[in-house]
A and B are shown apart, each in its own frame.
Chain A
Amino acid sequence: MRQDLPDLACGVVLAAIGLFVASYAATHYELGSLRRMGPGLFPAVLGGVLLGLGLLIAIPAWGRGRQAGSVAWKDAIAVLAAILVFAAGLERGGLVPVTVATVLIASIAAPDRKVGWRLVLAFAVTLLSVLVFHFGLKMTIPLWPNLS
């Protein structure tokens, strides 16, 4: 592989974001004049600049090799899934079950294959978060599922 893949990919994505922002702002929001700048002008200009910078990053990366670090796909998916479960479940599922689930899902990423420590950890983190957030900070989240 003769390309610097991470730079290439990020450069292209940034350029694409820039293009999208510039064209979206220009077509959806008023640009106004220099004297009365509309809501679209600032993002449109920024989008254009980002498009240029993205290309400036991507183009040199094409002809430049670099040892790309490996992507930790499994870890990334486990961690993000854990957060998503927490986000989706907090208000309906309640703090206790959601915390347990999040810890268990996140810990899939850990290399240690045993199960026992995960349960201990889930218990400890749940206890801590209930103590700090429910009793300490008096946050208004249900502890248990709302079954209606």
Chain B
Amino acid sequence: MSGWEGFLHGLSVALQPGVLVYCVFGVVLGTFVGVLPGIGAMATISLLLPITYYLSPEAALIMLAGVYYGSQYGGAVASILLRLPGTPQSAVTTLDGYPLAQQGKAGVALFASMTSSFLGSMFGILVLIMLSGVLSRAATAFGAADYAAMMVLGLVAASTIGAKDPAKGFAMVVLGLILGCVGTDVNSGAQRFTFGQAELMDGVNLVALAMGLFGVAEVIANIQVAERGGVPRRVALRDLMPGREDIRRIPFPALRGASLGSFFGALPGTGSTISSFLAYAAERRISRRPEKFGHGAIEGVAGPEAANNAAAISAFVPTLTLGIPGDPIMALMLGALVIHGVQPGPLMLEARPDMFWGLIASFGIGNLLLLVLNLPLIGIWVSMLRIPFRWLFPAILVFVCLGVYSVRGSSFDIFAVALIGAIGYALSLARFNPALLLLGFVLGPLIETNLRRALLISRGDPLVFLERPISAVFVLAIALLLAMSLVQAIRRKAQRDRQR
């Protein structure tokens, strides 16, 4: 079955009323839980899992997937308006989305995020239709050394994001990597930095980390500012809709982001996290006005949002053909499939075209629905900003606490939010970038395992990173990036000396 035939067949599956209704339910529910700070797709899908016993496997997977990408749309709303990202991907969206909202251009930021999410997913579907065969082989071509090198490249590229001082960026990444070490070491089973706390054996809770670093820190910093009227909370209607100039800035970053996302998403692991950070770094690097980034660049919203939506789609290829889930949410969806007796594997595309292409087609339908649903809602979301902050922030805190608790029913994680929030506030006073900490945290364990694995397989020979062509390319790119930052730093220092 060719890609187009498959897609058309998939449409005929996904448009059946008995399936479509679950797609609609999934995306609407996803948007809703995405907007609420703290509770994300993870908690929702776990709760929906028992219900899927009573559905056909297609309807079940399409509904759960709808929750997954629907929550990305909703998550963007919370990230842009309140700086409350639930995932590392939406942490990237806060970098420029939140400054835009503070400048009274929340409507523009939301428009950019939704349209580029839509463009990204459409692009992802196109790539899948044309290249599904190639994508399913990409994962087996990547070895441990390649993964390690790729993730280090992601870290290095991202460290240059949003900080005038590269040392601060690197420090955040390294702190994140260290936090990622907490818990049980995969290779040896040893407990690291758990200090006897059973709750830490699974590592630091990602949602608690994101909510503390961003949400709580932001609430503390904002209470006085907001009340003194430092942040424009009143939004005129004409600011809701983007101007022609704003719209012009969306398509190309979105396309570039979508290409990055489609490629990296096909690599099991953290494709979508890496691709949204890389998309942001790329936009900043090629922009003619990089100084705007971090202060409300529309490209900084469009690129990463398109990237993570495209990646979410191509990520289903390794999940379904290799059985390797990209994140815990994907793992849950795999579980839902196996409950129905559908084994993921290389024969999935041929043996279950209904399932695979139905899902892909549902992405198209679902994303269209989300766009149609969410664009008119922009006005309502933005009007949330008119609520005085003193009414808003206690509610935010309660929802953050409950959301974090909902992940695994642990009060310990709420205590962690308080501690992390205090750290996050201190970091924000010194203008550190918490998004980088989050990135280091997510990639750290993967870098370490793959690094150790690569050296084990090569029998301790570090040259393996240069001998494998894929990893050699990444290593070269890392070296180039580092050299470029060094040259820039020296040039800047020379400039300063001359000015003196």
- Distance to closest chain B CB from A57 (angstroms): 5
Taking CB atoms and an 8 Å cut-off, the chain B residues in 15-38 that contact chain A are: 36
Cα–Cα, bound, A65→B411 (Å): 42
Query: Interface digits, B268-301 against A, CB 8 Å rule (1 contact, 0 not)?
Result: 0000000000000000000000000000000000
Taking CB atoms and an 8 Å cut-off, the chain B residues in 301-316 that contact chain A are: none
Query: Interface digits, A118-139 against B, CB 8 Å rule (1 contact, 0 not)?
Result: 0001101100110011000111
Q: Is the CB of A82 within 8 A of B397?
A: yes
Taking CB atoms and an 8 Å cut-off, the chain B residues in 137-196 that contact chain A are: 165, 167-168, 170-171, 174-175, 177-178, 181, 185, 187-188, 190, 192-193
List, in ascending order, chain A residues with CB within 8 A of B460's CB. Answer: 33-36
Q: Which of A124, A129, A140 contacts B409 (CB 8 A)?
A: A140
Cα–Cα, bound, A36→B175 (Å): 24
Cα–Cα, bound, A39→B449 (Å): 10
Task: Give the contact stretch, choosing among B59-67, B326-334, B386-394.
Answer: B386-394
Q: Is the CB of A36 within 8 A of B456?
A: yes
Q: Is the CB of B171 within 8 A of A90?
A: no
Most chain B CB neighbours (cut-off 10 Å) among A9, A71, A86, A125:
A86
Q: Is B111 an interface residue (CB 8 A)?
A: no
Taking CB atoms and an 8 Å cut-off, the chain B residues in 209-250 that contact chain A are: 216, 219-221, 223-224, 227
- CB within 8 Å for A103 and B395 given contacts A50-B171, A56-B167, A109-B223: yes
Q: Is A143 an interface residue (CB 8 A)?
A: no
Q: Is the CB of B227 within 8 A of A110?
A: yes
Nearest residue (CB) in A for B174 is A50
Cα–Cα, bound, A7→B177 (Å): 21
Interface residue count on the B side (C-beta < 8 Å): 65
List, in ascending order, chain B residues with CB within 8 A of A21's CB. Answer: 178, 193
Taking CB atoms and an 8 Å cut-off, the chain B residues in 374-427 that contact chain A are: 390-391, 393-395, 397-402, 405-406, 409, 411-412, 414-415, 417-418, 421-422, 425-427
Q: Is the CB of B414 within 8 A of A50?
A: no
Cα–Cα, bound, A107→B448 (Å): 43
> Count of A-B contacts with CB under 8 A?
184
Nearest residue (CB) in A for B429 is A6
Q: Is the CB of B44 within 8 A of A6?
A: no
Q: Is B47 an interface residue (CB 8 A)?
A: yes
Q: Is the CB of B398 within 8 A of A125?
A: yes
Chain A facing B: main interface SS: helix
Q: Is the CB of A57 within 8 A of B414?
A: no
List, in ascending order, chain A residues with CB within 8 A of B498's CB. Answer: none
List, in ascending order, chain B residues with CB within 8 A of A88's CB. Answer: 411, 415
Nearest residue (CB) in A for B399 is A129
- CB within 8 Å for A121 and B188 given contacts A34-B455, A71-B429, A137-B43: no
- CB within 8 Å for A76 and B401 given contacts A87-B415, A88-B411, A137-B43: no
Q: Which 4 A-B pairs have the closest CB atoms?
A: A35-B460, A87-B414, A6-B430, A110-B390
